[in-house]
């Protein structure tokens, strides 16, 4: 059945669909393709009938891809991109096809960790365009499931909290430390768990993994911290901490950057407390060159 389907897939129709999707308009695509609008509409209708799915919804004058349309568009982009690459290779020139990597990053994931994670992408031989979106974990996972994202970076593994078949790729982990400005640290009577009991704290919100880890540590030490502020966004938390309002937790793997960027020093290493980092994809074995670079490069950058 698969072979029969491939034999009958009309790639002219698929290309016309691709151009319509890129322009979000039949009329604009028709003008650029030098075709009449009725002709292009007819070609699109034939493709929908063949695939037995609706590819677009209309919103005013715009055409918006349906969920099935987004899937088809993703494959069409890869198909025609590879076609361009094939022609370039046969002509003896370097492929001009640009890979696109659409990444979702949870707001709680440290920005400096995200930056380190993405650096290996720039070592890929083929040019890669990164599109990075930040958002709530559930929202990003849903977008992954609808093929609007290629990868989600998070501080916790996927546990089927949304109806998506996804796979975890552990990138690494880091010890957690408390950091503070010199003005905060000078009021501490040392750098021990007992010495920081009376310090003000700036903590992540309770829905983050690092906050849960910190709460477990506080409980083990037998004290309740004085919390002056809570932030879900890791960068905002550090910015607030850089103004001297209290101690804040952060991953030691980016300690050099934290000290340099925020003007803070380490107050205490939390023994036995770690933050883990994960890439979540729809593939058990990743094939996208940029994602392969991320998962393999993390072994060196996140340790």
- Give pLDDT tens digits for 264-277: 999 999 998 999 99
Q: Which of 57, 90, 123 is the last residue of a domain?
A: 90
The predicted model scores a pTM of 0.67
Residue 1: pLDDT over 80: no
Question: Do 288 and 227 form a contact (C-beta atoms < 8 A)?
Answer: no
Same domain, 182 and 266: yes
- Is residue 71 assigned to a domain? yes
pLDDT of residue 218: 94
- What is the rounded average pLDDT of the residues 93-105? 74
Residue 203: pLDDT over 90: yes
Query: Which residues in 197-218 are b (16+ Cβ under 10 Å) and which e?
Result: bebbbbbbeeebbbbebbeebb
Q: Which of 28, 62, 90 is the last residue of a domain?
A: 90
Count up the domains in the chain and report the number: 3
pLDDT of residue 300: 78
The interaxial angle of helices 26-33 and 37-51, nearest 10 deg, is 110
pLDDT band at 4 (very low <50, low <70, confident <90, very high): very low
Same domain, 150 and 197: no
Same domain, 193 and 159: no
- Is residue 205 assigned to a domain? yes
- What is the rounded average pLDDT of the residues 176-189? 93
- Is residue 224 assigned to a domain? yes
Residue 116: pLDDT over 60: yes
- What is the rounded average pLDDT of the residues 82-111? 76
- Is residue 233 assigned to a domain? yes
For the CA atoms of 60, 66, 70, 76, the dihedral, rounded to the nearest 10 degrees, stands at: -80
- Is residue 95 assigned to a domain? no
pLDDT band at 2 (very low <50, low <70, confident <90, very high): very low
Instruction: Give the domain CATH number at 76.
Output: 1.10.10.10
Same domain, 156 and 184: no
Instruction: Give the domain CATH number at 142.
Output: 3.40.190.10
- Is residue 258 assigned to a domain? yes
Same domain, 71 and 126: no
Same domain, 234 and 198: yes
Comparing 79 with 125, which gets the higher pLDDT?
79
pLDDT band at 71 (very low <50, low <70, confident <90, very high): confident
Same domain, 53 and 108: no
pLDDT band at 240 (very low <50, low <70, confident <90, very high): very high
Same domain, 287 and 236: no
pLDDT of residue 280: 94
- Is residue 253 assigned to a domain? yes
H helix runs in the chain, sequence order = 2-8, 11-23, 26-33, 37-51, 67-90, 111-118, 137-145, 182-185, 209-221, 234-241, 255-262, 289-301
pLDDT of residue 89: 65
pLDDT of residue 269: 95
CA gap 262, 240 in Å, rounded: 9
Question: Do 290 and 99 form a contact (C-beta atoms < 8 A)?
Answer: yes
pLDDT band at 5 (very low <50, low <70, confident <90, very high): very low
Same domain, 205 and 131: no
Domain that holds residue 180: 173-275
Residue 33: pLDDT over 80: yes
- Is residue 29 assigned to a domain? yes
CA gap 140, 303 in Å, rounded: 26
């Amino acid at each position: 059945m698969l072979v029969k389907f491939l034999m009958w897939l009309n790639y002219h129709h698929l290309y016309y669909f691709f151009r319509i999707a890129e322009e979000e308009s039949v009329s604009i695509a028709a003008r650029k393709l030098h075709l009449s609008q009725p002709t292009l509409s007819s070609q699109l209708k034939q493709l929908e009938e063949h695939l037995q799915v609706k590819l677009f919804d209309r919103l005013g004058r715009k055409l918006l891809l349906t969920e099935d349309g987004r899937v088809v568009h993703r494959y069409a982009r890869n198909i025609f991109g590879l076609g361009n690459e094939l022609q370039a290779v046969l002509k003896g020139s370097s492929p001009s096809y640009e890979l696109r990597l659409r990444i979702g990053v949870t707001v709680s994931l440290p920005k400096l960790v995200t930056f380190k994670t993405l650096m290996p992408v720039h070592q890929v031989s083929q040019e890669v365009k990164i599109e990075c979106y930040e958002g709530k974990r559930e929202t990003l996972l849903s977008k992954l499931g609808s093929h609007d994202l290629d990868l989600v970076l998070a501080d916790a593994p996927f546990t089927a909290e949304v109806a998506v078949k996804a796979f975890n790729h552990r990138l690494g982990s880091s010890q957690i430390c408390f950091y503070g400005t010199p003005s905060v640290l000078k009021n501490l009577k040392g750098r021990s768990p007992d010495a920081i009991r009376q310090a003000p704290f700036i903590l992540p919100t309770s829905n983050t993994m690092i906050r849960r880890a910190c709460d477990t540590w506080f409980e083990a030490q037998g004290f309740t911290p004085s919390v002056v502020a809570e932030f879900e966004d890791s960068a905002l938390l550090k910015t607030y901490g850089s103004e001297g309002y209290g101690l804040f937790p952060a991953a030691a793997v980016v300690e050099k950057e934290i000290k340099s960027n925020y003007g803070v020093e380490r107050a205490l290493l939390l023994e036995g407390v770690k933050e883990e980092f994960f890439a979540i994809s729809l593939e058990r074995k990743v094939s996208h060159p940029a994602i392969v670079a991320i998962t393999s490069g993390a072994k060196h950058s996140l340790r």
